[in-house]
Amino acid sequence: MKLYDYVLSASCYKIRLMAALLGVKLDLVAVDFHPGREHRALAFRNLNPAGTLPVLVDGDLMLTESTAMLVYLAQASGRAWLGDSTPARAAKVQNWLAFSARLGASLGMARLHDMLIYPGDIDAFRRAGVECLRELEAHMTEARFAGRIFLEGDAPTIADIACFPNVALAPDGGVTLDDYPAIRLWSRALRALPGFIEMPGIHRLHELKPAPEAVPALEDL
């Protein structure tokens, strides 16, 4: 299984992380996204006409959307990561996959603007990113009250992996995570998973800052 990869891409990291958690070996093909813009060259567009990263190739199968890659990896090597089989839970996981696109269009674009000088309205990117973080914080706070630490259910799913990178990398785009204790606890839970791998820019916040105060259980109130 071959992954066309850029080490600083949040979308590429999702796939590397998912594969590592599943114990799936990827053959990484480095693409000079910046400054070389190799993904826009004719040779790469012959592979993926959209000129986007990542690209996953497995035999005759080629995927160019990171959420589809997460589904494929989980279906092939770890179906528990898809969540339980109830229609409601499956729909909720898909809802978070869509939410991850909003994270990429806000926090992800703010990061590209600040790190790689991509054009765009940085204030709009940051405002939209903060709205996403507030939404995620509210959900994770409610989950903590219910005794859950992941987005859906008691175990991590592809929803968590889809959302984690752009959230964890938010400070690279000028958006702090200090005001979101439930998100920070969620991030710690993901980082503690066996097989977790890091990427440049995702700092060890659990080592640099004190743990956020946990939300008390209902019986403690």
Locate 67 and state its tokens. Answer: 């959420």
Q: What is the pLDDT of residue 207?
A: 43
Beta bridge partners of 4: 29, 55
Question: DSSP 3-state assignment of 198?
Answer: coil
What CATH class has 2-79? alpha beta
Per-residue pLDDT of 80-97, as tens digits, reads: 999 877 889 889 999 999
Task: Count CA atoms closer than 13 A to 210's CA, side-chain side.
Answer: 3
Locate 198 and state its tokens. Answer: 């890091």
Q: Specify the fold of 83-220.
A: Glutathione S-transferase Yfyf (Class Pi); Chain A, domain 2 (1.20.1050)
Q: What is the pLDDT of residue 43?
A: 84
pTM for the predicted model, two decimal places: 0.89
Task: Provide CB contacts within 8 A for 75, sequence distance 6+.
Answer: 82
Stretches where the chain sits below pLDDT 50 are 206-207, 214-221
Burial 132-170 (b: 16+ CB within 10 A, else e): bbeebbebbbebbeeebbbbbbeebbbbbbbbbbbbbbb
Q: What is the pLDDT of residue 210?
A: 55
Round to whole Å and give the CA distance between 70 and 157. Answer: 10
Can you give the residue ranges of every domain in the chain? 2-79, 83-220
Per-residue pLDDT of 159-205, as tens digits, reads: 999 999 999 999 999 999 999 999 999 999 999 999 999 987 776 55
Task: Provide CB contacts within 8 A for 104, sequence distance 6+.
Answer: 10, 11, 166
